[in-house]
Amino acid sequence: MQPTTRSALFVPGNRPERFAKALATEADAVIIDLEDAVPQDAKLEAREHLSRFAAEQPDARFLVRTNAADTPWFEGDLELCKSIPGIEGVVLPKAESAEQIARVRQVTGKAVIPIVESAKGVLAIEALAQAEGVQRLAFGYLDLMLDTGTRPDTAGARLLLDHIRCRLLLGSAAAGIQPPLDGVHPDFRDADTLAAIATQVRDMGFAGVLCIHPAQVSVVHAAFAPSEQEREWAKRVVGEHERTGSAAFQLDGKMVDAPVIERARRILALAG
């Protein structure tokens, strides 16, 4: 996974013809999904597809979403992830405890991205974020709304989801892990709503967004890209800092110090 992960694209584990296509997109990360996208009677077949693809494409690098810890497929999914070097991390759905993460680490030894998508998961955010081996958290708000009986696309839903987003951000920052990824927008044809959500979570401090269709990747990247005005400001801040060697100075009548300089550096990193 790239250091800056704006987009993580899911591809169904039972659609092997899409694996290489997903990896050829501009997505910062690809997640081969063994969970929700795969029917129960195709779980074992999906593992076979994944094993075959990894053998045929040994240089491919991707993530895998396993089935949840309370399902009969979980342990087999972990063994598969352990056996494939190209799997850079395990995306753990319906994460609810540090013990579940510890099991993933014990079997696979790989980085873990827990998805918070239940009431129990929300209440365990701090423990999940602080668990050994967690790279970052992700938000699964569709399942969360089902668990809480929340009506999607309402003011009440927005209130609840933004509250949980704040907890994800604070828990991640306090644990010193990478910023979280927001959940998928299910209507891949609705670019405007996705752009609005991506812009909001960008401004909140999220690293990126989970995607379910390649068309969503460019929308997310555009939302996370710094504006020309932001880039020019960041260049001036970093340039002045490097020219003077000063950790505190004035620019355009405003005080610039260490946090502002670091923000400018992050903007330039995003701008590439």
Mean pLDDT by 10 residues, the chain (272 residues): 83 98 98 97 98 97 98 98 97 98 98 98 98 98 97 96 98 98 96 97 96 98 88 86 86 88 86 71
What pLDDT, on the 0 to 100 scale, is given for residue 2?
A: 54
Q: Are strands 208-211 and 181-182 parallel, antiparallel or unpaired?
A: parallel
- Cα separation, 237 vs 225, whole angstroms: 18
- Cα separation, 61 vs 63, whole angstroms: 7
**DSSP 8-state secondary structure symbol assigned to residue 225:** S
What pLDDT, on the 0 to 100 scale, is given for residue 3?
A: 59
CA distances 257 to 15, 108, 231, 234, 242, Å, are 51, 43, 18, 13, 13
Q: Which amino acid is at 66?
A: T
Question: 208: part of which helix (H) or strand (E)?
Answer: strand 208-211
Query: Which fold, 7-224?
Result: TIM Barrel (3.20.20)
The rounded mean pLDDT for the chain is 95
Whose tokens are 């790989």? That residue is 110
Interhelix angle for 141-148 vs 155-175, to 10°? 120
Q: Where are the domains of the chain?
A: 7-224, 228-271
State pLDDT tens for residues 76-91. 999 999 999 999 999 9
What pLDDT, on the 0 to 100 scale, is given for residue 245?
A: 87
